[in-house]
Protein backbone atom coordinates (compact mmCIF):
# COMPACT_ATOMS: atom_id res chain seq x y z
CA UNK A 1 0.00 0.00 0.00
CA UNK A 2 1.13 3.56 -0.69
CA UNK A 3 1.47 6.21 2.02
CA UNK A 4 -1.68 7.93 0.74
CA UNK A 5 -3.65 4.68 0.82
CA UNK A 6 -2.43 3.95 4.33
CA UNK A 7 -3.44 7.43 5.51
CA UNK A 8 -6.86 6.94 3.92
CA UNK A 9 -7.22 3.60 5.67
CA UNK A 10 -6.36 5.16 9.03
CA UNK A 11 -8.92 7.92 8.39
CA UNK A 12 -11.61 5.32 7.72
CA UNK A 13 -10.67 3.45 10.91
CA UNK A 14 -10.90 6.73 12.84
CA UNK A 15 -14.51 7.07 11.67
CA UNK A 16 -14.00 9.93 9.24
CA UNK A 17 -16.44 9.99 6.35
CA UNK A 18 -14.55 9.57 3.09
CA UNK A 19 -15.99 10.38 -0.32
CA UNK A 20 -16.08 8.61 -2.62
CA UNK A 21 -16.14 5.46 -0.55
CA UNK A 22 -12.78 3.69 -0.77
CA UNK A 23 -12.51 0.34 -2.56
CA UNK A 24 -10.31 -2.49 -1.30
CA UNK A 25 -9.84 -6.19 -1.98
CA UNK A 26 -7.91 -9.04 -0.42
CA UNK A 27 -5.92 -10.49 -3.33
CA UNK A 28 -3.71 -13.57 -3.38
CA UNK A 29 -3.15 -16.84 -5.21
CA UNK A 30 -6.77 -17.74 -6.04
CA UNK A 31 -7.04 -14.67 -8.31
CA UNK A 32 -3.69 -13.11 -9.14
CA UNK A 33 -1.96 -15.85 -11.19
CA UNK A 34 -4.87 -16.45 -13.57
CA UNK A 35 -5.57 -12.76 -13.98
CA UNK A 36 -1.88 -12.08 -14.66
CA UNK A 37 -1.66 -14.93 -17.19
CA UNK A 38 0.66 -17.27 -15.29
CA UNK A 39 0.22 -20.64 -13.60
CA UNK A 40 -0.36 -20.99 -9.89
CA UNK A 41 2.86 -22.97 -9.60
CA UNK A 42 4.83 -20.22 -11.36
CA UNK A 43 3.31 -17.67 -8.96
CA UNK A 44 4.49 -19.66 -5.94
CA UNK A 45 7.96 -20.57 -7.23
CA UNK A 46 9.19 -17.47 -9.08
CA UNK A 47 10.01 -14.29 -7.18
CA UNK A 48 10.01 -12.35 -10.45
CA UNK A 49 6.62 -13.60 -11.64
CA UNK A 50 5.11 -13.10 -8.18
CA UNK A 51 6.35 -9.52 -8.10
CA UNK A 52 5.21 -8.76 -11.65
CA UNK A 53 1.70 -10.12 -11.01
CA UNK A 54 1.34 -7.85 -7.98
CA UNK A 55 2.86 -4.90 -9.83
CA UNK A 56 0.44 -5.40 -12.71
CA UNK A 57 -2.51 -5.29 -10.30
CA UNK A 58 -1.53 -2.07 -8.53
CA UNK A 59 -0.82 -0.34 -11.85
CA UNK A 60 -4.06 -1.53 -13.49
CA UNK A 61 -6.17 -0.41 -10.52
CA UNK A 62 -4.38 2.51 -8.84
CA UNK A 63 -7.54 3.62 -7.00
CA UNK A 64 -7.96 0.26 -5.22
CA UNK A 65 -6.42 -0.73 -1.89
CA UNK A 66 -5.07 -4.23 -2.37
CA UNK A 67 -4.80 -5.93 1.00
CA UNK A 68 -2.46 -6.82 2.53
CA UNK A 69 -0.48 -5.77 -0.56
CA UNK A 70 2.31 -7.83 -2.16
CA UNK A 71 1.19 -10.77 -0.05
CA UNK A 72 3.90 -13.40 0.18
CA UNK A 73 1.98 -16.63 0.75
CA UNK A 74 1.60 -20.28 -0.17
CA UNK A 75 -2.16 -20.67 0.05
CA UNK A 76 -3.25 -22.50 3.18
CA UNK A 77 0.10 -24.29 3.52
CA UNK A 78 2.33 -21.70 5.20
CA UNK A 79 1.48 -22.36 8.85
CA UNK A 80 0.51 -26.08 8.67
CA UNK A 81 3.83 -26.80 6.96
CA UNK A 82 5.66 -25.52 10.03
CA UNK A 83 3.99 -28.26 12.08
CA UNK A 84 5.10 -30.92 9.60
CA UNK A 85 2.08 -31.18 7.28
CA UNK A 86 2.83 -32.60 3.84
CA UNK A 87 2.02 -29.94 1.23
CA UNK A 88 0.96 -30.88 -2.30
CA UNK A 89 1.40 -28.31 -5.08
CA UNK A 90 -0.24 -28.30 -8.52
CA UNK A 91 0.18 -26.43 -11.79
CA UNK A 92 -3.10 -24.52 -11.71
CA UNK A 93 -4.74 -25.37 -8.40
CA UNK A 94 -4.22 -24.16 -4.88
CA UNK A 95 -1.91 -26.30 -2.74
CA UNK A 96 -3.23 -28.58 -0.02
CA UNK A 97 -1.82 -29.44 3.41
CA UNK A 98 -2.45 -32.97 4.67
CA UNK A 99 -3.51 -33.46 8.27
CA UNK A 100 -0.99 -34.76 10.80
CA UNK A 101 -3.31 -35.38 13.77
CA UNK A 102 -5.03 -38.72 13.15
CA UNK A 103 -6.12 -39.41 16.71
CA UNK A 104 -6.61 -37.03 19.59
CA UNK A 105 -3.51 -38.32 21.42
CA UNK A 106 -1.35 -37.02 18.56
CA UNK A 107 -1.81 -33.52 19.98
CA UNK A 108 0.52 -34.51 22.81
CA UNK A 109 3.34 -35.15 20.32
CA UNK A 110 3.24 -31.69 18.70
CA UNK A 111 6.40 -29.62 18.96
CA UNK A 112 6.23 -25.84 18.87
CA UNK A 113 7.59 -24.78 15.45
CA UNK A 114 10.26 -22.11 14.94
CA UNK A 115 8.89 -19.57 12.44
CA UNK A 116 12.35 -18.46 11.29
CA UNK A 117 13.36 -21.99 10.30
CA UNK A 118 10.41 -24.37 9.97
CA UNK A 119 8.08 -25.00 7.04
CA UNK A 120 7.35 -22.38 4.40
CA UNK A 121 7.49 -19.34 6.68
CA UNK A 122 11.21 -18.68 5.98
CA UNK A 123 10.41 -18.63 2.24
CA UNK A 124 7.60 -16.12 2.87
CA UNK A 125 10.02 -13.80 4.66
CA UNK A 126 12.83 -14.20 2.16
CA UNK A 127 10.57 -13.39 -0.79
CA UNK A 128 9.69 -10.10 0.89
CA UNK A 129 13.34 -9.42 1.75
CA UNK A 130 14.43 -9.98 -1.85
CA UNK A 131 11.65 -7.80 -3.25
CA UNK A 132 11.42 -5.08 -0.61
CA UNK A 133 13.39 -2.48 -2.52
CA UNK A 134 11.42 -3.09 -5.74
CA UNK A 135 8.15 -2.80 -3.81
CA UNK A 136 9.27 0.44 -2.18
CA UNK A 137 10.52 1.80 -5.52
CA UNK A 138 6.89 1.55 -6.69
CA UNK A 139 5.81 3.76 -3.80
CA UNK A 140 4.40 0.87 -1.74
CA UNK A 141 5.43 -0.60 1.62
CA UNK A 142 5.05 -3.88 3.48
CA UNK A 143 2.29 -2.91 5.92
CA UNK A 144 0.88 -6.12 7.40
CA UNK A 145 2.06 -9.12 9.34
CA UNK A 146 -0.19 -11.93 8.10
CA UNK A 147 -1.16 -15.34 9.43
CA UNK A 148 -3.98 -17.84 9.31
CA UNK A 149 -5.97 -17.95 12.53
CA UNK A 150 -5.67 -20.66 15.20
CA UNK A 151 -8.92 -22.48 14.40
CA UNK A 152 -8.09 -22.44 10.70
CA UNK A 153 -4.65 -23.94 11.29
CA UNK A 154 -6.09 -26.51 13.67
CA UNK A 155 -8.64 -27.60 11.07
CA UNK A 156 -5.82 -28.34 8.60
CA UNK A 157 -3.78 -30.23 11.16
CA UNK A 158 -6.76 -32.37 12.26
CA UNK A 159 -9.36 -32.15 9.50
CA UNK A 160 -12.27 -29.74 9.81
CA UNK A 161 -14.92 -32.27 10.86
CA UNK A 162 -12.60 -33.97 13.33
CA UNK A 163 -11.58 -30.65 14.87
CA UNK A 164 -15.15 -29.41 15.29
CA UNK A 165 -16.26 -32.73 16.78
CA UNK A 166 -13.33 -32.74 19.21
CA UNK A 167 -14.38 -29.31 20.50
CA UNK A 168 -17.25 -31.25 22.05
CA UNK A 169 -15.65 -34.58 22.91
CA UNK A 170 -12.08 -33.62 23.87
CA UNK A 171 -12.24 -30.03 25.04
CA UNK A 172 -9.04 -30.13 27.11
CA UNK A 173 -6.97 -31.49 24.21
CA UNK A 174 -8.39 -28.90 21.81
CA UNK A 175 -7.40 -26.10 24.15
CA UNK A 176 -3.91 -27.58 24.35
CA UNK A 177 -3.75 -27.63 20.53
CA UNK A 178 -5.01 -24.05 20.23
CA UNK A 179 -2.52 -22.83 22.84
CA UNK A 180 0.39 -24.34 20.89
CA UNK A 181 -0.87 -22.90 17.61
CA UNK A 182 -1.44 -19.49 19.19
CA UNK A 183 2.06 -19.40 20.67
CA UNK A 184 3.49 -20.19 17.24
CA UNK A 185 1.28 -17.59 15.55
CA UNK A 186 2.33 -14.87 17.99
CA UNK A 187 6.00 -15.65 17.35
CA UNK A 188 5.36 -15.70 13.59
CA UNK A 189 3.58 -12.32 13.66
CA UNK A 190 6.31 -10.78 15.82
CA UNK A 191 9.05 -12.13 13.55
CA UNK A 192 7.46 -10.43 10.53
CA UNK A 193 7.40 -7.11 12.40
CA UNK A 194 11.01 -7.64 13.49
CA UNK A 195 12.04 -8.17 9.87
CA UNK A 196 10.05 -5.26 8.38
CA UNK A 197 9.81 -2.07 10.39
CA UNK A 198 7.23 -0.68 7.96
CA UNK A 199 4.60 -3.10 9.33
CA UNK A 200 1.81 -1.32 11.20
CA UNK A 201 -1.01 -3.83 10.80
CA UNK A 202 -1.99 -7.43 11.52
CA UNK A 203 -4.16 -9.54 9.21
CA UNK A 204 -5.57 -12.80 10.59
CA UNK A 205 -7.71 -15.05 8.39
CA UNK A 206 -9.90 -17.68 10.05
CA UNK A 207 -13.09 -18.95 8.40
CA UNK A 208 -13.51 -21.76 10.95
CA UNK A 209 -14.56 -19.06 13.43
CA UNK A 210 -17.70 -18.86 11.30
CA UNK A 211 -18.64 -22.40 12.35
CA UNK A 212 -18.83 -21.29 15.98
CA UNK A 213 -21.93 -19.91 17.63
CA UNK A 214 -21.63 -17.37 20.42
CA UNK A 215 -20.71 -19.75 23.28
CA UNK A 216 -18.17 -21.69 21.19
CA UNK A 217 -16.63 -18.47 19.95
CA UNK A 218 -16.29 -17.25 23.54
CA UNK A 219 -14.52 -20.43 24.62
CA UNK A 220 -12.47 -21.58 21.64
CA UNK A 221 -11.78 -18.47 19.57
CA UNK A 222 -11.96 -15.25 21.53
CA UNK A 223 -9.10 -15.80 24.03
CA UNK A 224 -6.70 -16.96 21.34
CA UNK A 225 -7.60 -14.22 18.86
CA UNK A 226 -7.23 -11.63 21.62
CA UNK A 227 -3.75 -12.92 22.45
CA UNK A 228 -2.73 -12.75 18.79
CA UNK A 229 -4.13 -9.30 18.16
CA UNK A 230 -2.46 -8.05 21.35
CA UNK A 231 1.02 -9.23 20.41
CA UNK A 232 1.94 -6.07 18.48
CA UNK A 233 1.13 -2.40 19.00
CA UNK A 234 -0.14 -1.58 15.50
CA UNK A 235 -2.72 0.76 13.98
CA UNK A 236 -4.71 -1.76 11.93
CA UNK A 237 -6.11 -4.97 13.40
CA UNK A 238 -7.72 -6.71 10.42
CA UNK A 239 -9.75 -9.93 10.65
CA UNK A 240 -11.16 -12.03 7.81
CA UNK A 241 -13.94 -14.58 8.29
CA UNK A 242 -16.16 -15.07 5.27
CA UNK A 243 -18.20 -17.86 6.86
CA UNK A 244 -21.04 -17.00 9.26
CA UNK A 245 -20.18 -13.84 11.17
CA UNK A 246 -22.98 -13.67 13.72
CA UNK A 247 -21.07 -15.47 16.46
CA UNK A 248 -17.96 -13.30 16.31
CA UNK A 249 -19.15 -9.85 15.21
CA UNK A 250 -20.36 -8.50 18.60
CA UNK A 251 -16.96 -9.33 20.15
CA UNK A 252 -14.59 -7.92 17.53
CA UNK A 253 -14.04 -4.46 19.00
CA UNK A 254 -13.39 -5.87 22.48
CA UNK A 255 -10.76 -8.21 21.03
CA UNK A 256 -9.06 -5.16 19.49
CA UNK A 257 -10.10 -5.81 15.89
CA UNK A 258 -10.85 -2.60 14.01
CA UNK A 259 -11.42 -3.93 10.47
CA UNK A 260 -13.47 -6.93 9.36
CA UNK A 261 -13.93 -8.71 6.02
CA UNK A 262 -17.03 -10.87 6.32
CA UNK A 263 -19.44 -13.04 4.37
CA UNK A 264 -21.78 -11.70 1.69
CA UNK A 265 -24.51 -13.60 3.59
CA UNK A 266 -24.67 -10.59 5.92
CA UNK A 267 -25.44 -7.06 4.74
CA UNK A 268 -23.40 -4.01 5.60
CA UNK A 269 -26.41 -2.64 7.49
CA UNK A 270 -26.68 -5.80 9.61
CA UNK A 271 -22.97 -5.89 10.33
CA UNK A 272 -22.97 -2.24 11.36
CA UNK A 273 -25.60 -3.09 13.99
CA UNK A 274 -23.83 -6.23 15.20
CA UNK A 275 -20.47 -4.44 15.57
CA UNK A 276 -22.09 -1.30 17.03
CA UNK A 277 -20.40 0.62 14.19
CA UNK A 278 -17.04 0.32 15.96
CA UNK A 279 -15.29 -1.71 13.26
CA UNK A 280 -14.44 -0.85 9.65
CA UNK A 281 -16.39 -3.14 7.34
CA UNK A 282 -14.72 -4.43 4.19
CA UNK A 283 -17.52 -5.68 1.94
CA UNK A 284 -19.82 -6.76 0.69
CA UNK A 285 -21.14 -8.08 -2.65
CA UNK A 286 -21.14 -11.80 -3.54
CA UNK A 287 -17.60 -12.64 -4.68
CA UNK A 288 -18.25 -15.62 -6.93
CA UNK A 289 -21.81 -15.23 -8.22
CA UNK A 290 -21.61 -11.49 -8.90
CA UNK A 291 -18.03 -10.19 -8.93
CA UNK A 292 -16.60 -13.18 -10.82
CA UNK A 293 -19.57 -14.51 -12.79
CA UNK A 294 -21.79 -11.46 -13.21
CA UNK A 295 -21.74 -8.76 -15.87
CA UNK A 296 -20.30 -5.29 -15.21
CA UNK A 297 -23.89 -4.01 -14.98
CA UNK A 298 -24.74 -6.64 -12.36
CA UNK A 299 -21.64 -5.70 -10.38
CA UNK A 300 -22.66 -2.03 -10.36
CA UNK A 301 -26.24 -2.89 -9.39
CA UNK A 302 -25.02 -5.10 -6.56
CA UNK A 303 -22.84 -2.33 -5.11
CA UNK A 304 -25.74 0.13 -5.19
CA UNK A 305 -28.14 -2.42 -3.69
CA UNK A 306 -25.74 -3.26 -0.87
CA UNK A 307 -25.46 0.41 0.12
CA UNK A 308 -29.16 1.20 -0.23
CA UNK A 309 -29.96 0.22 3.36
CA UNK A 310 -26.94 1.92 4.95
CA UNK A 311 -27.52 5.28 6.60
CA UNK A 312 -24.05 5.89 8.07
CA UNK A 313 -21.36 5.69 5.36
CA UNK A 314 -18.46 5.92 7.80
CA UNK A 315 -16.21 2.91 8.47
CA UNK A 316 -16.92 1.27 5.11
CA UNK A 317 -14.48 0.06 2.47
CA UNK A 318 -16.34 -1.35 -0.50
CA UNK A 319 -15.30 -4.88 -1.42
CA UNK A 320 -16.67 -8.37 -1.86
CA UNK A 321 -17.68 -10.72 0.93
CA UNK A 322 -14.36 -12.54 1.13
CA UNK A 323 -11.10 -12.58 -0.79
CA UNK A 324 -10.99 -11.94 -4.52
CA UNK A 325 -12.12 -15.18 -6.20
CA UNK A 326 -10.67 -16.78 -9.28
CA UNK A 327 -11.99 -15.47 -12.60
CA UNK A 328 -12.78 -11.84 -11.75
CA UNK A 329 -12.32 -9.81 -14.94
CA UNK A 330 -10.77 -6.40 -15.37
CA UNK A 331 -14.08 -5.08 -16.70
CA UNK A 332 -15.91 -6.16 -13.56
CA UNK A 333 -13.33 -4.58 -11.29
CA UNK A 334 -13.47 -1.32 -13.23
CA UNK A 335 -17.28 -1.40 -12.98
CA UNK A 336 -16.98 -1.90 -9.22
CA UNK A 337 -14.68 1.11 -8.83
CA UNK A 338 -16.87 3.28 -11.05
CA UNK A 339 -19.99 2.33 -9.09
CA UNK A 340 -18.33 3.45 -5.85
CA UNK A 341 -17.85 6.90 -7.32
CA UNK A 342 -21.39 6.82 -8.71
CA UNK A 343 -22.85 6.15 -5.27
CA UNK A 344 -21.05 9.21 -3.96
CA UNK A 345 -22.48 11.37 -6.72
CA UNK A 346 -25.99 10.01 -6.13
CA UNK A 347 -25.73 10.75 -2.40
CA UNK A 348 -24.44 14.26 -3.06
CA UNK A 349 -27.32 14.91 -5.48
CA UNK A 350 -29.89 13.59 -3.00
CA UNK A 351 -28.58 15.88 -0.30
pTM over 0.75: yes
**Spatial distance between the Cα atoms of 92 and 198, rounded to a whole number of angstroms:** 33
pLDDT score of 40 more than 80: yes
Task: Flag whether pLDDT at 346 surpasses 80.
Answer: no
Residue 339 banded pLDDT, cuts 50, 70, 90: very high
CATH assignment at residue 250: 3.20.20.210
pLDDT range class, residue 347, cuts 50, 70, 90: low
Which pLDDT band holds residue 341 (cuts at 50, 70, 90)? Answer: confident
Residue 137 domain boundaries = 3-350
Q: What is the pLDDT of residue 309?
A: 85
CA distance 299 to 310: 18
Q: State the total domains in the chain.
A: 1
Give the mean model confidence (pLDDT) for residues 11-38: 96
180 and 101 Cβ atoms separated by less than 8 Å: no
What percentage of the chain reaches a pLDDT higher than 90?
95
Cα dist. 266→253, 283, 315 in Å? 18, 10, 16
- Tell me: cis bond preceding 284? Omega within 30 of 0 counts: yes
Q: Tell which residue, 6, 11, 20, 23, has the closest CA to residue 61.
A: 23
**Predicted local confidence at residue 292, as pLDDT:** 98
Query: Residue 348: is its pLDDT beyond 50?
Result: no
Q: Looking at the chain, how many residues does it have? A: 351
Over the chain, what is the mean pLDDT?
96
Mapped to the 3 state alphabet, what secondary structure does the chain carry? CEHHHHHHHHHHHCCCCCCCCCEEEECCCCCHHHHHCCCHHHHHHCHHHHHHHHHHHHHHCCCEEEECCCCCCECECHHHHHCCCCEECCCCCCCEECCCCCCHHHHHHCCCCCCCCCCCHHHHHHHHHHHHHHHHHCCECCCEEEEECHHHHHHHHHCHHHHHHHHHHCHHHHHHHHHHHHHHHHHHHHHHHHHCCCCCEEEEECHHHHHCCHHHHHHHHHHHHHHHHCCCCCCEEEEEECCCCCCCHHHHHHHCCCEEEECCCCCHHHHHHHCCCCCEEEEEECHHHHHHCCCHHHHHHHHHHHHCCCCCCCCEEEEECCCCCCCCCHHHHHHHHHHHHHHHHHHHHHC
251-306: pLDDT as tens digits: 999 999 999 999 999 999 999 999 999 999 999 999 999 999 999 999 999 999 99
Whether the per-residue pLDDT at 349 is higher than 60: the answer is no
Q: Tell me the per-residue pLDDT of 156-199, one tens digit each, with 9 for 90 and over.
A: 999 999 999 999 999 999 999 999 999 999 999 999 999 999 99
Q: Residue 351 above 80 pLDDT?
A: no
Amino acid sequence: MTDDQWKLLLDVIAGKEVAPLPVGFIIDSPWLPGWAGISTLDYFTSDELWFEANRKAIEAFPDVMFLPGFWSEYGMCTEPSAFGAKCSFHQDQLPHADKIIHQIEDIDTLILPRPAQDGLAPFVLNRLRLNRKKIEDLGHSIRFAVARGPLNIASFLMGTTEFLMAMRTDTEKIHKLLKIITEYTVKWIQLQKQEFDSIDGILILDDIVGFCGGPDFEEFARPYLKEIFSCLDVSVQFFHNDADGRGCSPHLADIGINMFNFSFMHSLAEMKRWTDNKVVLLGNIPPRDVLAQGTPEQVSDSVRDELSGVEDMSRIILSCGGGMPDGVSEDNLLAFVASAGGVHLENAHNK
